[in-house]
Amino acid sequence: MKNRHGRIFLGICFSVFMVIGLGWLSTGSAMDQDKVIQLPRPVHTGKMSLEETILRRESVRDFTSKPLTLQEFSQLLWAAQGITRKWGGRAAPSAGALYPLEVYLVTAEGFFHYLPARHHMIPLSDRNLLKDLCHAALGQSCTREAPAVIVLTAVHERTSGKYGPRAERYIAMEAGHAAQNILLQATALGLGALPVGAFYDDRVQKALGLPGDHQPLYLIPVGHPR
Ligand SMILES: Cc1cc2nc3c(=O)[nH]c(=O)nc-3n(C[C@H](O)[C@H](O)[C@H](O)COP(=O)(O)O)c2cc1C
């Protein structure tokens, strides 16, 4: 009888261990949101002058499959929204310094959220979402074939709290500033990029699992021009 109780007790212990252990394992294999990717410091000098960069910038829609380096991602994300001032000012101007833009990165390796304050990325998914993004962007192949797509989104309430209905205009302007910085930075690095505005907001939101208040404004495929 004692043995039987012992076996039952061991059985319960084993089951509890399996449930907790497997749960832990499955959490570990899913995207670990605490696992930040620290980006290398962005460089502040380049080989191409601003004038030459403006002259060379053009929309690139055909890319090779060569992946971008972490240093290139660092530079592009810094150009979009990196911190450039001691008080927290960023690379692109913002009405009332309210910074409504949120920047995401989609690559074959996963989906990442850029956080300017620490210049790092938080992995949100390890799935390749480029194909889903392409469907949301009316099948534009550049959004699937580029090695990376930078997604600019905005949280309207950050700006509308102060500026009311005028916020919509300000936010669109800010997305333009950030996008142009990315396009010029890509050009200066010898990369190609393209601003894509034709997509279904709700489908992009769904494809990426974006929070409901993060409205997608721009998709920017970037890579090595073919
Ligand atoms: C707001 C905006 C939205 C755009 N959307 C798209 C798009 O969805 N797909 C695309 O292929 N190009 C898009 N473009 C790129 C334009 O087609 C391109 O800028 C234009 O043809 C001029 O060429 P360039 O950029 O080489 O000077 C967009 C440009 C802007 C400014």
In the prediction, which pLDDT does 12 show? 43
59 and 88 assigned to the same domain:
yes
* Spacing, Cα 219 to ligand 1 middle (Å): 11
- What pLDDT does residue 20 have? 37
CA angle, 200 then 204 then 208, to 5° = 170
If asked whether residues 5 and 42 sit together in one domain, one would say: no
Q: Whose CA is nearest to atom 6 of ligand 1?
A: 196
Ligand 1 centroid to Cα of residue 170, in Å, is 20
Spatial contact of 80 and 92, defined as CB atoms under 8 Å apart: yes
Residues 13 and 124 in one domain: no
Same-domain status, 17 and 129: no
Q: Which atom of ligand 1 is the closest one to the Cα of 199?
A: 8
Residue with CA nearest ligand 1 atom 3: 197
3-state secondary structure at position 37:
strand
Output the pLDDT for position 5.
53
| 3-state SS, residue 138 | coil
Is residue 20 domain-shared with residue 89, that is, in the same domain?
Answer: no
pLDDT on residue 176: 98
- pLDDT score, position 162: 98
Question: Across the chain, how many H-helices and E-strands are there?
Answer: 8, 7
Q: Whose CA is nearest to atom 11 of ligand 1?
A: 196
Measured in degrees and rounded to the nearest 5, phi and psi for residue 123 equal -70, 130
79's CB contacts (< 8 A; 6+ apart) are 42, 91, 181, 182, 184, 185
**The amino acid at 41:** R
Please indicate, yes or no, whether the overall pTM of this predicted structure exceeds 0.85. yes
CA of 39 to the centre of ligand 1 (A): 29
Q: Are residues 163 and 98 in the same domain?
A: yes
Taking each helix axis from N to C end, the angle separating 70-81 and 167-188, rounded to the nearest 10 degrees, works out to: 150
Number of domains in the chain: 2
User: CA 61 → CA 8, 13, 100, 129, distances in Å?
Assistant: 65, 58, 28, 18
* Contact by Cβ (8 Å): 193, 151: no
Is the domain of 7 the same as that of 63? no
Amino acid at position 200, single letter: Y
In this structure, are 84 and 162 located in the same domain? yes
Residue among 197, 193, 195 at smallest CA distance from 223: 193
CA atoms within 13 A on the CB side of 157: 3
CATH number at 59 reads 3.40.109.10
Structure tokens at 148: 């990376």
Q: Give the residue numbers spanning the domain of 12.
A: 1-30
Claim to verify: residue 43 and residue 152 sit in the same structural domain: yes
Q: Are residues 24 and 66 in the same domain?
A: no
Q: 155 and 116 in one domain?
A: yes
Ligand 1, residues at Cβ distance < 6 Å? 58-59, 61, 140, 194-198
Determine the distance separating the centroid of ligand 1 and the alpha carbon of 220, expressed in angstroms.
10
Looking at the fold, whether 17 and 111 belong to one and the same domain comes out as: no
Instruction: Note down pLDDT in tens along the chain; length 226 residues.
Output: 445 555 544 444 344 333 333 333 333 334 555 689 999 999 999 999 999 999 999 999 999 999 999 999 999 999 999 999 999 999 999 999 999 999 999 999 999 999 999 999 999 999 999 999 999 999 999 999 999 999 999 999 999 999 999 999 999 999 999 999 999 999 999 999 999 999 999 999 999 999 999 999 999 999 999 9
